[in-house]
Amino acid sequence: MEEKKLIAGMDPDMLALHLAAAGIEERYSRRLLYWIYRRGIQSFSEPDDIPVRVKSALEERFLPGVNPPVSSLRSVDGSVKYLFSTAAGLPHETVWLPEGRRLTVCVSVQSGCRMGCSFCATGRNGWSGNLTAGEIVNQVVGLPDPFTHIVLMGMGEPGDNIDEVIRACRVFTAEWGLAAGRSKVTVSTVGVTPSVTRLLNETEVNITLSLHSPFPDERAEVIPVERRWPFTETLELMKEYGNSRRRRFTVAYVMIKGKNDSKRHLEELRRLLHGTGIRVNLLPYHPLAGDSEESADEETMMQFRHLLVTSGVGASVRKSRGADIAAACGMLAAGRSLRKRQ
């Protein structure tokens, strides 16, 4: 028997082709995508505006591709970490971050990661496989929680799975998809230069560069991909981009005590970013098991931010969320701390 096709991850044209091949009128493609992306249906019996004969034909050849998480953990700060699993058994985590009216979903693009960044639990635990666009989208559609913003900052490197990431971003932003809006979707990358170029040319989402250090030799010790794709290439692409649509370009800077929080680092950051419009997002470091490093303290981070801002570089300090359930930045490790929801 032919394997059923998953609709989640498709666009209207792709779905129309598959429907036609199955003998189903192509005109139902956008209506089906509405029910899947906006309503999160898990069965074709749910739509009330599609004929029974069409729903029967769909059930023979297709699956919606929307699946709920298998377990979850809730933080004392209200954040929730969800564990998903693909049909092939690839575990991946998603974090829901409520903060006032801003409801952010942090999604994964891979099960594990191949980048090997030393400060990240995901990279330390290796790589199991890429997620499809449908599996990336499912982390938003399959959640029980509402959202206002989507960030691709969970497990995996978007630049290492760029085809599926771009397809997912189109679903997130398109009118026929989730219609989240380009300004509400952000992709975080260590700077895989060819993939950053594609994100700039083929999407309108915001882009964040994970930097760690403004000095290439220091960065390469922690983020090995620096040796192949220097971060300066990504910064140049951001600087040269004709930003008429006012996309937000950001540098994520995880601050580690005694490693990258000195005056020397501050001065180099100011030199690199002054006048570019690229913001700096300062993040606390979350030590991993067996780690001797610790985060820069709050006073140092606030002073860092102040000196950046007064020199003309936009900057903010991101508050740590979900650390007690290993859901904070750099702590996702494919469900090792999750338990079944009761």
Q: Which member of 25, 93, 221, 298 is catalytic?
A: 93
Q: What are the φ and ψ backbone dihedral angles of 151, each rounded to 5 degrees?
A: -125, 130
106 is catalytic: no
Q: Quote the CA–CA distance of 161 and 184 in Å, as a whole number.
A: 21
Q: Which member of 106, 113, 117, 329 is catalytic?
A: 329
State the angle between helix axes of 263-273 and 298-310 in degrees (0 to 180), rounded to the nearest 10.
Answer: 40
Residues 6+ apart with CB under 8 A from 46: 35, 39
93 is catalytic: yes
Which three-class secondary structure string do you get for the chain? CCCCEECCCCCHHHHHHHHHHCCCCHHHHHHHHHHHHHCCCCCCCCCCCCCHHHHHHHHHHEECCCCCCCEEEECCCCCEEEEEECCCCCEEEEEEEEECCEEEEECCCEEECCCCCCCCHHHHCCEEEECCHHHHHHHHHCCCCCCCEEEECCCCCHHHCHHHHHHHHHHHHCCCCCCCCHHHEEEEECCCHHHHHHHHHHCCCEEEEECCCCCHHHHHHHCHHHHCCCHHHHHHHHHHCCCCCCCCEEEEEEEECCCCCCHHHHHHHHHHHCCCCCEEEEEECCCCCCCCCCECCHHHHHHHHHHHHHCCCCEEECCCCCHHHCCCCCCCCCCCCCCCCC
Catalytic residue positions, numbered: 93, 329
